[in-house]
Chain A
Amino acid sequence: MTTPAPNASTDPLLRVEGLQVWYGRAHILTGVDLAVGRGEVVALIGRNGAGKTTTLKAIMGLAESRQGGVTFDGRPIGALPPHAIARLGLGYVPEDRRIFADLTVDENLEVGRQPPRPGAPHWTPDRLFELFPNLAAMRGRRGTRMSGGEQQMLTLARTLMGNPSLLLLDEPSEGLAPIIVRQMADAVRRLKAEGLSVLVSEQNTSFAAAVADRASVLEKGQVRWSGRMADLMADETVRRTYLAV
Chain B
Amino acid sequence: MSFLLVQALSGLATAATLFLVSSGLTIVFGVTRIVNFAHGSLCMIGAYLGWSLIERFGGSVGGFWGSVALASLGAGVLGAAMEVGLLRRLYRSPELFQLLGTFGVVLVVQDAVAWIWGPEDLMGRRAPGLKGSVDILGQPFPLYDLVLIGLGPLVLGLLWLLFTRTRWGVLVRAATQDRDMASALGVDPARLFTGVLFLGSALAGLGGALQVPREAVNLHMDMAMIVEAFVVVVVGGMGSLTGAFLAALLIGQLQAFGILVFPQITLVLVFLFMAVVLVLRPHGLMGRAEEAPPAAATAAPVLRLGNRGGWIAVGLLALLAAAPLLVGDYAVIVLTEMVILALFAASLHVLIGLGGLVSFGHAAYFGLGAYGAALLVRHLGAPMPLALAGAPLVAGLGALIAGWFCVRRSGLYFAMLTLAFAQITWSVAFQWSGFTGGDNGLLGIWPSAWASGKAVYFWLTLALCAGALALLRRAAFAPFGYALRAGRDSALRAESVGIDVRRHQWFAFALAGSAAGLAGGLYAFAKGSVFPTLMAVSVSVDALVMILLGGVQTVSGPLAGAALFHLLESQVMRATDLWRLLLGLTIVALVLLFPRGVVGVLSSRRERS
Q: A and B: partners?
A: yes
A contacts, CB < 8 Å to B: 24-25, 60-62, 81-84, 86-87, 92, 94, 98, 100-103, 107-108, 110-114, 158-159, 162
> Is B183 positioned at the interface, with any CB of A under 8 Å from its CB?
yes
What per-residue 1/0 map shows which CB atoms of B586-609 lie under 8 Å from chain A? 000000000000000000000100
Pair B183/A111 contact, Cβ less than 8 Å: no
Q: CB < 8 Å: which of B178, B184, B189 contacts A92?
A: B184
Question: In the assembled complex, which residues on chain A have CB atoms less than 8 Å from the CB atom of B183?
Answer: 81-83, 86
**Nearest chain A CB to B498's CB is how many angstroms away?**
29
> How far, in Å, is A199 (CB) from chain B's closest CB?
14
Q: Are A100 and B186 in contact (CB under 8 A)?
A: no
Distance in angstroms from A157 CB to nearest chain B CB is 12
Q: B188: CB under 8 A from chain A? A: yes
Other contacts beyond A82-B180, A94-B181, A110-B170: 13, CB < 8 A:
A24-B607, A82-B183, A83-B184, A83-B186, A86-B186, A98-B178, A98-B181, A100-B182, A101-B177, A102-B173, A103-B173, A108-B174, A111-B182
Q: A83 touches which one: B173, B177, B178, B187 (CB < 8 A)?
A: B187
A62, B180: Cβ atoms closer than 8 Å:
yes
Q: Pick from B167, B178, B180, B607: contact of A110, CB below 8 A.
A: B167
Residues of B within 8 A of A107 (CB): 170, 173-174
Interface residues of B, Cβ cutoff 8 Å to A: 167, 170-171, 173-174, 177-178, 180-189, 607
A-B contact count (CB 8 A): 62
Cα–Cα distance between A239 and B181 once the two chains are bound (Å): 33
Q: Is the CB of A87 within 8 A of B170?
A: no
In the bound complex, residues from chain B placing their C-beta under 8 Å from that of A108 are 174
Contacts of A24 in B (CB 8 A): 607
Contact between B184 and A100 (Cβ–Cβ < 8 Å)? no
Q: For A158, what are the chain B residues with a Cβ–Cβ distance below 8 Å?
A: 185
In the bound complex, do residue B181 and residue A162 qualify as a contact, i.e. CB atoms below 8 Å apart? no
Tell me the minimal C-beta distance from A116 to chain B in angstroms: 13
Cα distance, A62 to B183, chains bound together (Å): 9
Q: Is the CB of B182 within 8 A of A62?
A: no
Evaluate contact between B186 and A114: CB separation under 8 angstroms: yes
Chain B's interface: helix, strand, loop or mixed, by majority? helix
Q: In the complex, A114 Cα to B170 Cα: how many Å?
A: 14
Contacts of B167 in A (CB 8 A): 110, 113
> In the complex the two chains form, is B186's CB within 8 Å of A162's CB?
yes
> By CB atoms of chain A within 10 A, which of B170, B182, B186 has the most?
B186
Q: With A25-B607, A83-B189, A102-B177 in contact, do A111 and B184 touch (Cβ < 8 Å)?
A: no
Contact (Cβ within 8 A) B181 A86: no
Interface centre among A82, A98, A108, A159 (most CB of B within 10 A): A82
Please indicate the chain A residues that have their CB under 8 angstroms from the CB of B170 in the complex. 103, 107, 110-111
CB distance from A39 to the nearest CB of B (A): 22
Indicate which residue in B181, B188, B189 contacts A100 across the interface (CB closer than 8 Å). B181
Knowing A83-B188, A83-B189, A87-B186, say if A100 contacts B173 (CB, 8 Å): yes
For residue A83, which residues in chain B have a CB less than 8 angstroms away from its CB?
A: 183-189
A155 shortest CB reach to chain B, Å? 9
A84–B173 CA distance with the chains assembled, in angstroms = 20
Measured between alpha carbons, how far is A144 from B183 in the docked complex, in Å? 21
Interchain CB contact under 8 A, B174 and A100 = yes
| Shortest beta-carbon distance from B333 to chain A in Å | 48
Closest beta carbon of chain B to A104's beta carbon, Å: 9
Q: In the complex, A111→B182 CA distance in Å?
A: 7
Chain A residues within 8 Å of B185, by CB: 83, 86, 92, 111-112, 158-159, 162
* 9 chain-A/chain-B pairs, Cβ below 8 angstroms: A83-B187, A86-B185, A100-B178, A102-B173, A103-B173, A110-B167, A111-B170, A114-B186, A162-B186
Q: In the complex the two chains form, is A100's CB within 8 Å of B177's CB?
A: yes
Q: How far is the CA of A109 from the CA of B467 in the complex (A)?
A: 64
Q: Please give, as numbers and ranges, the residues of chain A lying within 8 Å of B189 by CB-CB distance.
A: 83
Q: CA of A103 to CA of B181 in the docked complex: distance in angstroms? A: 14
Minimum distance in angstroms from B152 CB to a CB of chain A: 24
Closest to A24 in B: B607
B369 to chain A, nearest CB (A): 42
CB proximity of A100 to chain B, nearest CB, Å: 5
- Tell me the bound Cα distance from A100 to B173 in angstroms: 8
List, in ascending order, chain B residues with CB within 8 A of A98's CB.
178, 181
What's the nearest-Cβ distance from chain B to residue A98, in Å? 4
* Contact assessment for A60 and B607 in the assembled complex, using a CB-CB cutoff below 8 Å: no
6 closest Cβ contacts across the A-B interface?
A86-B186, A82-B183, A111-B174, A83-B183, A98-B181, A100-B174
Q: How far is the CA of A92 from the CA of B180 in the complex (A)?
A: 11
The residue in A83, A87, A92 that gathers the most chain B C-beta atoms within 10 A of its C-beta is: A83
- B187: A residues at CB distance < 8 A: 83, 111
A70 CA / B185 CA spacing, docked (Å): 19
Q: Which of A98, A100, A110, A114 has the most CB of B within 10 A?
A: A100
Residues of A within 8 A of B173 (CB): 100, 102-103, 107
Contact A82 B174, beta carbon cutoff 8 Å: no
CB proximity of B316 to chain A, nearest CB, Å: 36
Q: Are B174's CB and A94's CB within 8 A?
A: no
- Contact, CB under 8 Å: A60 / B184: yes
In the complex, what distance in Å separates the CA atom of A112 from the CA atom of B186? Answer: 7
Give the distance to chain A from B61, nearest Cβ to Cβ, in Å: 40
The reply to whether B177 and A82 form a contact with Cβ atoms under 8 Å apart is no
A97 to B171, CA, bound (A): 17
Report the Cα distance A81→B184, complex, angstroms.
Answer: 9
Are the CB atoms of B188 and A111 closer together than 8 Å? no
Contact A82/B171 with A100-B177, A102-B177 known, Cβ cut-off 8 Å: no
A158–B187 Cα distance when bound, in Å, is 13
In the bound complex, what is the Cα–Cα distance between A103 and B188 (angstroms)?
A: 19
Output the nearest chain A residue to B288 by Cβ-Cβ distance: A102
- A101, B187: Cα distance in complex, Å: 17
Give every chain B residue within 8 A of A112 (Cβ-Cβ): 185-186
Q: How far is the CB of B556 from chain A (nearest CB, A)?
A: 28
Write the nearest CB–CB distance from A15 to chain B, whole angstroms. 20
Which of B171, B184, B186 is A62 in contact with, Cβ under 8 Å? Answer: B184
Q: Do B184 and A86 have beta carbons less than 8 Å apart?
A: yes
| Chain A residue nearest in CB terms to B180 | A62
Cα–Cα distance between A113 and B168 once the two chains are bound (Å): 12
CA distance A112 to B170 in the complex (A): 11
List of A residues within 8 angstroms of B174 by Cβ: 100, 103, 107-108, 111
Q: Which residue of B lies closest to A163 (CB)?
A: B186
Q: Are B184 and A94 in contact (CB under 8 A)?
A: yes
What is the CA–CA distance of A164 and B171 in the complex, to the nearest angstrom? Answer: 19
Cα of A159 to Cα of B181 in the assembled complex, Å: 10
Q: Which of B167, B181, B187 gathers the greatest number of chain A CB atoms within 10 Å?
A: B181
Q: Give the distance in Å from the alpha carbon of A82 to the alpha carbon of B175 in the complex.
A: 13
Q: Note all chain B residues with C-beta closer than 8 A to A162.
A: 185-186
Residues of A within 8 A of B182 (CB): 100, 111
Give the docked Cα–Cα distance between A60 and B185 (Å).
Answer: 10
A81 CA / B185 CA spacing, docked (Å): 11
Q: Which residues of chain B are near A102, meaning CB under 8 Å? A: 173, 177
Cβ of A54 to closest chain B Cβ, rounded Å: 14
Closest to B189 in A: A83
CA distance A98 to B183 in the complex (A): 12
**Smallest distance from the beta carbon of A10 to chain B beta carbons, Å?**
28
Residues of B within 8 A of A81 (CB): 183
Residue of A62, A94, A107, A108 ringed by the most chain B CB atoms within 10 A: A107
Residues of B with C-beta under 8 A to A25: 607
Which residues of B sit under 8 angstroms from A61, Cβ to Cβ? 184
Q: With A and B bound together, what is the CA distance between A128 and B413 in angstroms?
A: 43
A60 to B184, CA, bound (A): 7
Given A81-B183, A82-B183: A111 in contact with B171 (beta carbons within 8 A)? yes
Instruction: Give Cα distance in the complex from A108 to B177, angstroms.
Output: 12
Within the complex, the shortest CB–CB distance from A80 to chain B, in Å, comes to 11
